């Protein structure tokens, strides 16, 4: 490959027709506990008085569309059952054990599917928003995997839910640099989040500040990994999972206060404003159009493809994020089936979720081309076009088949019906809810009822006395407590 033929972006912002970049292995590792919405209520009632703000959060918690979330322990885990919330030191020590363990297992799955040796890995790009220790957690993962200590490492921080895609974009640029030097690149990508143990910190804020903080209803624990190859020196029989065709990173102006993840003595604090779903949905279409035009492999000058021509691997930041993009791009739940299924069963695992969605998406046949998309603090929008190669069961790489996987529109309908009764009427257990109903007992002047508020809150709402609060980050924050239900 001559330097002039090295795949790269041109000065006009167009990608070469063959970047020769591909994902060769995927691995997802969820912890062994799946918790239902009742777990948050159990822990809240154990330690906090039934204030108006807490009642509202617990009502919203019943209508997120999430059936279970992945967590590292059950509702009696000692870290979340002390008289006070765990300190950042305790959280760091826990991450050093549980986060590294999940990460090593996810990496081993990705490496096994790739089929190469750890000695062939040239770089590692990692990300997390639930740990900020130095050296980073990637240092300890490298040691556990037996990777040489001289490997080139990059640890990304401050990017929340968009972290997995930002890591993939960074790895792509590293791999293209190696291609220019005619060197092989086998980049290990890693994202890990331990959010569940931040529950007490969030509940403390709800109690002390009387804030309606819905991050505590959404987030979960996970590690995921992938191997990205530039093809140089590759065995001709190597079979990629996805080819990378092009990508785009964009910041939505003047949104720094809408999405973030603030450092706190008790961990990190999620604050999410009501503008996030609208801002996110509005940004997707122009970004998609620009990206498609920059990728000759999918852009036909006579007739550019539309969003519905692709499968979508959308980071499931909340139900209104998913449905907002679905509506803005004229998609159906079938296009977003993997995002819905991961959201329902595992919740939002921040940066680690996008690889989980891609892993789920490749289980079944679908459209040849895929749009991957995620939002992070900034607000940052990450988008990538991929081309599908392999399809087939991914249970060995992160999912156990239980025979209940929903296809077509079923997953999306299930999420939406968990919020409304199918006619737009808030409900619980099939019964309409009014502000006089049991589920609406939040002692304030909420004329819409908690289920209706949940519908507008799931996509990352944070309020203080009814006014959107500044700061915080969607897609990187805490989850609820922990209960073994599966």
Q: State the DSSP H helix or E strand holding residue 45, giving kind and residue range, or none if neither.
A: helix 38-47
The DSSP bridge partners found for residue 227 are: 25, 188
* List 107, 129, 161, 222, catalytic entry: 161
Please answer whether residues 172 and 247 qualify as being in contact, where contact means their C-beta atoms are separated by less than 8 angstroms. Answer: yes
User: What DSSP letter does each residue of 113-149 carry, written as one string?
Assistant: HHT--GGG--EEEEE-SS---SS-HHHHHHHHHT--T
The reply to whether omega before 135 is within 30° of 0 (cis) is yes
Please answer whether residues 321 and 459 qualify as being in contact, where contact means their C-beta atoms are separated by less than 8 angstroms. Answer: yes
192 is annotated as an active-site residue = no
Q: State the DSSP H helix or E strand holding residue 311, giving kind and residue range, or none if neither.
A: strand 311-314
Q: Rounded to the nearest 5°, which phi and psi values hold at 270?
A: -90, 130
Residue 94 neighbours by CB distance under 10 Å: 18
Residue 483 neighbours by CB distance under 10 Å: 24
Residue count of the chain, please give it: 486
Q: Which residue has the tokens 């931040």?
A: 198
Distance between terminal CA atoms of the chain?
Answer: 51
Please answer whether residues 426 and 420 qualify as being in contact, where contact means their C-beta atoms are separated by less than 8 angstroms. Answer: yes
CA 21, CA 29: separation in Å to the nearest integer? 24
Number of H helices, E strands in the chain: 13, 18
Mark residue 261 as left, alpha or beta (left: phi above 0; alpha: psi -120 to 50; beta: remaining): beta
The bridge status of strand 427-428 relative to strand 242-251 is unpaired
Q: Rounded to the nearest 5°, which phi and psi values hold at 311?
A: -80, 155
CA 235, CA 212: separation in Å to the nearest integer? 54
Please answer whether residues 438 and 70 qualify as being in contact, where contact means their C-beta atoms are separated by less than 8 angstroms. Answer: no
CA 303, CA 349: separation in Å to the nearest integer? 37
The DSSP bridge partners found for residue 243 are: 22, 387
Catalytic positions are 161
């Amino acid at each position: 490959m001559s330097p002039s033929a090295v795949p790269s972006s041109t000065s006009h912002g167009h990608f070469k027709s063959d970047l020769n970049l591909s994902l060769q292995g995927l691995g997802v590792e969820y912890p062994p506990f799946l918790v239902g919405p009742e777990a948050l209520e159990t822990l809240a009632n154990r330690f906090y008085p039934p204030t108006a703000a807490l009642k509202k959060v617990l009502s919203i918690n019943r209508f997120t569309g999430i059936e279970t979330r992945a967590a590292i322990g059950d509702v009696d885990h000692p870290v979340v059952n002390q008289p006070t919330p765990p300190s950042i030191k305790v959280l760091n020590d826990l991450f050093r054990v549980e986060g590294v363990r999940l990460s090593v297992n996810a990496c081993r799955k990705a490496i096994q599917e790739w089929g190469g040796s750890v000695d062939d890995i040239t770089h590692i790009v990692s990300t997390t928003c639930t740990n900020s220790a130095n050296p980073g957690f990637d240092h300890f993962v490298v040691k556990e995997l037996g990777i040489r200590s001289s490997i080139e490492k990059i640890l990304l921080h401050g990017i929340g839910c968009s972290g997995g895609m930002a890591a993939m974009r960074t790895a792509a640029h590293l791999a293209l640099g190696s291609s220019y030097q005619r060197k092989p690149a086998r980049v290990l990508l890693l994202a890990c989040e331990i959010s569940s143990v931040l529950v007490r910190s969030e509940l403390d804020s709800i109690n002390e500040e009387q804030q309606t903080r819905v991050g505590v209803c959404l987030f979960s624990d996970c590690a995921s990994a992938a191997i990205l190859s530039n093809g140089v020196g590759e065995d001709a029989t190597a079979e990629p999972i996805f080819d990378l065709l092009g990508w785009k990173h964009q910041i939505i102006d003047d949104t720094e206060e809408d999405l973030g993840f603030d450092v706190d003595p008790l961990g990190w604090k999620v604050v999410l404003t009501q503008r996030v779903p609208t801002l996110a949905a509005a940004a997707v279409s122009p970004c998609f159009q620009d990206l498609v035009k920059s990728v000759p492999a999918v852009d036909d000058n006579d007739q550019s493809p539309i969003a519905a021509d692709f499968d979508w691997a959308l980071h499931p930041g909340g139900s209104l994020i998913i449905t907002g993009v679905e509506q803005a791009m004229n998609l159906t739940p079938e296009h977003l089936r993997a995002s819905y299924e991961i959201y329902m069963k595992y919740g939002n695992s921040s940066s680690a979720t996008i690889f989980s969605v891609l892993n789920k998406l490749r289980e079944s046949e679908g459209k040849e081309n895929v749009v991957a998309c995620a939002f992070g603090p900034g607000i940052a929008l990450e988008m990538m076009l991929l081309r599908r190669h392999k399809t087939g069961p991914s249970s060995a790489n992160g999912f156990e088949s239980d025979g209940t996987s929903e296809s077509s529109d079923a997953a999306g309908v299930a999420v939406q019906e968990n919020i409304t009764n199918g006619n737009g009427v808030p409900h619980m257990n099939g019964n309409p809810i009014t502000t006089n109903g049991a589920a609406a007992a939040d002692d304030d002047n909420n004329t819409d009822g908690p289920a209706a508020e949940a519908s507008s809150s799931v996509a990352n709402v944070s309020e203080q006395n009814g006014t959107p609060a500044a700061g915080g980050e969607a897609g990187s924050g805490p989850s609820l407590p922990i209960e073994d239900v599966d």
